[in-house]
Structure 1
Amino acid sequence: MKTMAINDISDTAFWICAYRAEESKRHDSLFSDPLAEMLAGDKGQDIARKMSDSRYSSWTVVIRTCVIDEMIDTLIRQNDIEMVVNLGAGLCTRPYRMELPKSIQWVEVDYPDLVNFKNEKLKVEIPKCQLKRIGLDLSDINARCSLFQQLNSYNRKALVLTEGVIPYLTEDQVGMLASDLHKNSNFLYWITEYHSKDMYKHQRSKRKNNEMGGSPFQFFPDSWFKVFNESGWALKENNYLYEKGKTLYRPFPAPLWAKVVYTFLPKKEVEKIEKMLGFVLWVKE
């Protein structure tokens, strides 16, 4: 059996960071993340090598990074947000690499050990905005609700970002998080991923579960949108990664046989494939 790649949920931060480091080395890179290689280290590279579908995961991370960057940039330019609350921030370096107004308040929340690691690694780096890191286990409901209330009291128009968080939660946990966020009047927007039901078979596969170890994917609702709608979040836009990849001249790296089959598929099946993965911008109703 192949060695388990992910031992705990914090390992996913190093795994994803390794893909951003890899992208930054390309001559045709879609973004530059100069801190990613240092943060990912050998640990991140080792995890990426062990993942059986690294080629596709890498593409997903790169395109989703571009999509999220664009959504954040648009909301800031439109003066719709003054604060970003990044829950499960991992090794994200947006406060350092994006062109952000100094007035933007950026709050990163993640496990204390990961926050301490990041603080030590980046202690000499200067962010482009007002950056604060908070070590907190977000599964502690009382602690997170207290934090949300504190952040809400800053009276700033806020965007919540959960990149690579939702798929690891159960449907009940996602619903509760959605409700907890919605209770705070200044949390106006929320960015999450979107997976169609056609993705579930792959995410539930034995091979994927073996690789993910103690942190398997768990969010498989009958309706992805309904879970959020029931807690008062309305769809503002859904950016599908397949379509975005084409506009960036970085199409999905499908094998040759799949490309051949794709040309013979009915239009309805093609549309299903192209809308399997995305990132959603929710707005509070």
Structure 2
Amino acid sequence: MTSADIAAASAYWTAAVRARETARPDRLFQDPWASALAGERGRELLRRKEERDRREDLLLPLRTRWFDDAVATELTGQTGQLVELGSGLDTRPYRLRLPAGTRAFELDQSSVQRHKEAVLATMPTPDRSVTDVATDLRGDWSPDLVHAGFEPSRRSVWVAEGLLMYLDHDAATRLLRTTAGLSAPGSVLILDTLARATRRTDQVAGTGAKFLPADLPSLLAANHWTQRAHTTIAGPARAYGRIPDQPRSGEKPNDLTYLLVIADLSLAEDHRRQRTATAVRRCPGR
């Protein structure tokens, strides 16, 4: 299977996890569309995954709730746009109460988008401005987003949840740079990634991850983002009262850490965008 195929499959089993979490009396979030979106395919993929891992997936509900809280905090009445990169079968723009005037864009490969659109068309959804953008996030996806109505002049909250691990280092770096280039002053990037303590960049056996930065803050800075906050999964586990079992010996390589990160558009990039906007306004004939 290609990385795109694996990413598409993950959209189904993660929807199955969200459906299972929604059915819990102590649920961390509610996704009433998840069960239909997962379907039998998602439930079977989740069964196989957890059988292979020999444990229930406890990380994903924590990750979902952390991203929900981060997005809700960062979205304001002045935000304008929410962009979900590799949105899969999640329904965050419908699950969260978005500020009035917010426009959401969900980017993913066309097969996932078609399935999502077909399922949601049969179910009631809140009145939200949500635009699906079928594109390949490994390539030059910015024209597709702009063509769909995205406005680079408006402040944006970018979300890359469960995405970067499926991209190689060059594609992930290009994505960071592209989001910065499309961002208005004050924009925010919320992401998760596996990171490693050493400077090796090869894929780690057993993780399936391709993007394994050794110095994420420096990599973000080189691509016009400034890391503001970060935590491991232990942070939301404590905050939400869901402490997972300790991993079995040898289950995860010792030099890997799972990070949840919030980054701001760098001041230098802010200033560059402001100067460009001023020059455009002053340009005769415009």
The bucket for the TM-score relative to the shorter chain is: 0.7 to 0.9
Asked if 1:145 corresponds to 2:142, the answer is yes
Structure 1 residues 254 and 284: alpha-carbon distance in aligned structure 2, compared to 1, 3 A threshold: same
Counterpart CA distance in 1 for 2:54 and 2:11 is 15
Counterpart CA distance in 1 for 2:150 and 2:98 is 21
In structure 2, the gaps of 5 or more residues are 267-286
TM-score calculated relative to the size of structure 2: 0.79
Structure 1 residues 61 and 195: alpha-carbon distance in aligned structure 2, compared to 1, 3 A threshold: same
Structure 1 residues 185 and 38: alpha-carbon distance in aligned structure 2, compared to 1, 3 A threshold: closer
Report the Cα offset of residue 190 of structure 1: 0.9
Q: 48, 51, 54: which one pairs with 1:50?
A: 48
1:115–1:133 Cα contact (<8 Å) kept:
yes
Q: Which runs of 4+ in 1 moved over 6 A?
A: none
* CA RMSD, 1 decimal: 2.8
TM-score calculated relative to the size of structure 1: 0.79
Which structure would you say has the larger RCO, counting Cα contacts within 8 Å and 6 or more residues apart? 1
Report the Cα offset of residue 38 of structure 1: 0.9
Q: 184, 187, 198: which one pairs with 2:182?
A: 184
What's the secondary structure of 1:10's corresponding residue?
helix
For 1:281, the aligned partner's letter is: I
Report the Cα offset of residue 280 of structure 1: 0.7
Report the Cα offset of residue 32 of structure 1: 1.1
Aligned position for 2:275? none
Instruction: Say how many residue pairs are matched.
Output: 252
What's the secondary structure of 2:188's corresponding residue?
strand
Report the Cα offset of residue 92 of structure 1: 0.8
Asked if 1:243 corresponds to 2:235, the answer is yes
Structure 1 residues 88 and 237: alpha-carbon distance in aligned structure 2, compared to 1, 3 A threshold: same
Report the Cα offset of residue 25 of structure 1: 1.1
Residues 123-202 of structure 1: pairs in structure 2 closer than 5 A: 123=121, 124-141=123-140, 144-150=141-147, 151-153=149-151, 155-186=153-184, 188-197=187-196
Q: 91, 94, 109: which one pairs with 2:92?
A: 94
Aligned position for 1:21? 19
Aligned position for 1:282? 263
Deviations 1:160-188 (A, max 9, x none): 11111101111111111111121124271
In structure 1, the gaps of 5 or more residues are 1-5, 210-215, 259-271
Q: Taking every aligned residue pair, what percent have the same amino acid on both sides?
A: 24
Report the Cα offset of residue 71 of structure 1: 0.8
